[in-house]
Amino acid sequence: MAWVELAYVLAAILFILGLKGLGRATTARRGNLLSASGMLVAVVATLLRGGIDPLWVGVGLLVGATVGLIAARTVQMTGMPEMVALFNGSGGIASFFVAWAEFHGDPARDVGTAAAIAAASIIGALAGSGSVIAWGKLAGRVPGRPIRLPAQSWITGALAAIALAAAVTLALAPDGALGGPAFVVAALIALALGVLLVLPIGGADMPIVISLLNAYSGLAAAMAGFVLGNSALVVAGSLVGASGFILTNIMCKAMNRSLANVLFGGFGGEDGPGAAAGATGDVRSLTPEDAYFVLEAASDVVVVPGYGMAVAQAQHAVRELADELDANGAEVRYAIHPVAGRMPGHMNVLLAEANVPYEQLVEPGDVNPTMETVDVAIVIGANDVVNPAAKEDSGSPLYGMPILEVHRARTVFVLKRSMNPGFSGVDNGLFVRENTRMLFGDAKETVQALVTEFKEAREG
């Protein structure tokens, strides 16, 4: 029916406009609503097209909306990466079930449809199991360090070859005696591959993994769209897949690493040394009361948020401190590293929750050239993205990774609970630099103490 195809075109337009809106914090909410509206249009058009039991579609809409609403309302900001991982997995598993249903429902399929079924099932199953492991690593249910089996590269390669052979068999003999066994073999191996591909990836690489799994889930959805002959699903899946791969590439460049190195390098474990044993020098700590006098005289302050800020839920206190600094005549900027946190855009989400002006957010390339003129750099829970070893130590696993060069600022305040290294397990020489002062303790309490000092000075 022509009106159904027109509805799909409208849905595709809404998807594209929504994706464009997600490119800026100021328009992200509208972009999200546009994308959700596009999906609603596509679902309703598919339902009214006929041939589908409206009861089951209605049940699916109700259950999905309820789960999504509860998750969105109850998830803590520190748990956002885990939720994103689970949502990626849900998309992959949904595509797998679509492929499964179509495989069993239409034995007279052509080669093209059979190939799409094989692709949707393999990619969807891989994205689903891989996302569950990613969720486990992010939630602490699975060790964050790289976990590798003996001869894992050979095992993974052999399984991938078998899955490819099963997919080819399914495509060339979709309704033959080998079709059923080929589908089962491909699906089971894809589930195993998802686990084996994510287990060796350490915690420091989780943002890249999350964006890659997002791309996989989108690609699986596009393949499911081909299986169903649904153009709206093809467009939606293609947009998600393409944007996910582009983001993955951007984040790999931000870490100066190739995707192959991320997937097979086994770097980024959290179980590194217990202290900064490789960083020689004296640690200089400071109290919030003493730190206040340095900040009070500062005219240019850069805040570097990291996962520790998310854990401490300190974003609102940080915004309040920035307001105090602004009232005191200082320029405040927030330097955001692309891989800070545990998912793409993690720090942006936290700061947006605290209503931090989008114009105050800057990238490493914007702030690094003038870092020598920064009076105070406040590092809140970030570690690897400010480690000077990436610039100075050719033997460090971080060497070559673009960082926020806060070590060149006049004064650096590092807010941490202890001297433990970051998620990569690499010691951070920034902690013992002469211009660095450590403020130990809970980040939120420390920042609130600084805010109190400013308020008392103003009121006194």
- Residues marked active site are found at 384
CA distance 377 to 362: 13
The phi and psi torsions of 333 (rounded to 5 degrees) equal -130, 155
Q: Are 208 and 255 in contact (CB under 8 A)?
A: yes
CA distance 460 to 441: 27
Pairing of strands 300-305, 376-380: parallel
- CA-derived radius of gyration, the chain: 25
Measured CA to CA in angstroms, residue 98 lies from 5, 126, 386 at distances of: 21, 15, 45
CA distance 139 to 290: 36
Q: b/e string for 120-150 if b means 16 or more Cβ within 10 A?
A: bbbbbbbbbbbbbbbbbbbeeebebbbbeee
The vertex-365 CA angle with 361 and 366, nearest 5°, equals: 45
CA distance 374 to 437: 15
Burial class (CB in 10 A: 0-12, 13-18, 19+), 395: exposed
Pairing of strands 331-335, 376-380: unpaired
Look up residue 376 and give its amino acid: V
Strand, coil or helix: 361: strand
Q: Are 58 and 23 in contact (CB under 8 A)?
A: no
CA distance 127 to 95: 10
CA distance 231 to 217: 17
Q: Name, in order, each residue with C-beta under 8 angstroms of 115's C-beta and a sequence gap of 6 or more.
A: 167, 170, 171
At 160, which helix (H) or strand (E)? helix 152-172
Q: Which parts of 258-367 are beta strand (E)?
A: 300-305, 331-335, 361-362
Q: Nearest Cα to 414, choosing from 402, 422, 426?
A: 422
